[in-house]
Each structure stands twice: as C-alpha cells, then as structure tokens.
A and B are shown apart, each in its own frame.
Chain A
C-alpha cells in the first residue's frame, strides 16, 4: 500500500477529475495517479476498443517540440539522427515515424514517436523516461535546437474501428489522414496536434490538446455512444495482442533494436552502406547485429491452455531439465483471442515460427509455440 505521502506526491493529468467522476479505479503509474480500469472492466474495455472505439488518457507521456535554431527542420532532423538509428531527415512534413533513443552499448533508452510539422519536430516519449529523455536531448542537441517541453498539453488517444467516424464529426481532416500522418488540426474548434497512430493495433488517432481544453474535448468524444473510456489495463492487453513493445519490459537498455525484432524501424539509409550509415549511439554494435545477426530475438508466444504466462517466466527447450534459454517479458490473457499471449526473448536458433518451447509457471512447464506477431491483425489505414 502507498502511504498518504506517496499518494499526495503523485502527479495528475488534466483529465484526472474526469477519470474519478467516471468511476475509474485509480492506481499509481509512472508517478501519475491513473485509471487502471473504468467501471466496464478490462475485458469489456478491450473488446469495445476492438469493435467500436476507446478513449485513452495518455497525458502522462512526454510531449517535446524540437525547434531548429536555423529555422530549417532538416537541421533538427539531422541533429536528432545523432541520437536515434532512424532516418528522420526523410520524415516529410505531416508524417510521423517510430524511433528509439539508443545508448553507447546499442541498448534502448526509450522508444518514441517523431513527427515533422514542417518547421519543427514533435516528439512523444514514455512517461517513465521523459525527464531523462529531455535531459538527453538538452545535453546533445542544444547547439542546434530549442528543446521545448510541452508540459501544458494533454494527450488523448481515440482507438478502434469507429475512431474515424467519431473524430470526423469534430475534425473535417481526420478521414483524409492515413496511418502515421500527423499535423496541427482543429478538433471541436480547439487547436490540436493530431496523428493517425496509436498503441492498440487498431486504426485510431492521438490528439495533443492544450491542458485547459482537454476535459471538454474528452467529454465531447465520450458523448458519442460509440466511445468508451479505457484504462491502462486494457491499454496493456491491446498493445500486447498488437505485438507492440512496452518500454522497460520488452525493450530496455540491454536490448538492441535488432534483438527486439524492430529492424523494420531502422531505415536502410542508417544501416551499413546507407547514405547516413551509423552516427548514432551504439551504432557499431547495432550495425553488427544487422550484418551478422544477434544471438537472441524477441518473439511472440502462444500457449495451448488458458493459463496466462506472465512477465518473468523462464523459458526452456524441454519439458524437464536443462537450463533456461530465455524469459517472458510481457504476458497476459488476450481478450480478443480468448487465449493467453506473451512475448519474450529466446536464442535466435529457437526463434523460428512454430518452435516448441516450455515456460515455467508455478513449478510446472507449460508448452508454448513461437507465434507470429501481431497476434491480432492490425487495421491501420495505410
């Protein structure tokens, strides 16, 4: 239990009062008092997001503007490329890209979204890492960029097959946006930054809104009968079914993007032989993993029974004996699959789809199979 002092020191988002009014079950998460679930419960919230639309408060995440001192966004992009293995120069105005801050060992300091708004870059980083990320940016990019932490903004995600029709009523441009489009748009008359992306595997949007307008916008969205408020519990089960990494669990400072099966996120221009190969922290190790392969790999895992295999469960090659060969990094019950789903790291030799493995759960070895991710087909509007 948290002491009163701990409770009092928790930060709140601009939607905190709304969560409490909606009956959200509040828990501490990354220093914030956040709803783990609303009255519908994790299962219904999850399924509602997949069938209609869910509204998520992700205002605890960090929003940072990188403003080039030269006035040219390419200069901010080139500067940011010193910290991430992605091609940021190629992110066209109005587009967004998934990226990772890497460290000198090739590990991942955080994962983030980078959008170009034409005259500056807009970054969304994880709540638990945002102070370190900001310090990292200041320490490395201050010569080229003004690092502007946008603390007076909330972030609302609207996810699911009805997200487009719901948002279209408030933002005329929403239906014209494609997956990973991002830019300033008016939503319900409010100046927002809207991206067509999310963390559920569903089509949907993330809306950055001034803090003072956040509750009004959230209430307007929730007035639509297709929209249900969703807590962090369903956010986690949705992203896990979507095969998406959770920082600090599936990726961390000891995993490279190649080990994490995130090769798709590193463009050819930054790999060996590319126009701007290397030049990011840990490039030597990460490019060696690209060129020679890594010893281990993040994989999806499915079980036969209904017992969830949770984070931390050790993985074995055989039903008895032997040393552990890997570990589960995220595991839960997938409500849309009505079955357990997990991801974890295994030796690359054991990472092929269909490989049979065992997870130790309460002293017993449960059979698992290496399975393709996402576990639930994503529905992005490409």
Chain B
C-alpha cells in the first residue's frame, strides 16, 4: 500500500473509532447497513456500515465488492474539508461536488435519504470535532 493510502486508512480508522463514541449518531444510522466506496486519489476504501456502526474498512482495489454509492475525491480536497474552518467550496461534500473536487456514483438517492448521517460521519474527521 502506498504511503498516501496508508495515511488515509489511518484517518478513516480514526473516524471509525470516533463514531463508536457517538451514541446519538449511531442511533441516527441504526437502519443503515450499507457499503460506501470512498475513492481518494484513485485509492479505494470500502466502508462497511452495520446498523450505523462503521464495522470494517476494506482497502481496494476490488472489482468484486458491491457498494450502494461512492464518493470520489482527492487527498488535498479532503484535507481542506477536514480543517476546522475550510474555505468556501471545501466545507461540505455537495459544495466540493459543485466546485468539481468530488463526484458521486451509484445510488445517490440512498445517500440523500441518509444524508445527515453520512455528512456527520465524515465530519468526525474534521480537526476539533468532538
């Protein structure tokens, strides 16, 4: 695994641990048992949610793992997103999509139906997030 991918995996594992300490967020996601593909600079990470918990993170590449929807971005954009007060455009995943730094794939309605949960999970990686 290349260095950038290893650092990203560590970051996602940190998000995974923080989510375990968020009972209200886990409750919000209690009906969500989906796999989400996060692609960063081409490196793939399959996030397997089980009743709201981020149960496992499987690094890719893989052509065999089914997923409900995917987010594809770059490490620089994601690093900006995770700063305490990102500049305009990097403060939200939909804003990142609008400025062309993130793309959605798969069942976007599945994402939108549970958008607050997935947004809050990703925000756990932001510096200063409790």
- The reply to whether chain A is a binding partner of chain B is no
Which A residues have a C-beta under 8 Å from some C-beta of B? none
Which B residues have a C-beta under 8 Å from some C-beta of A? none
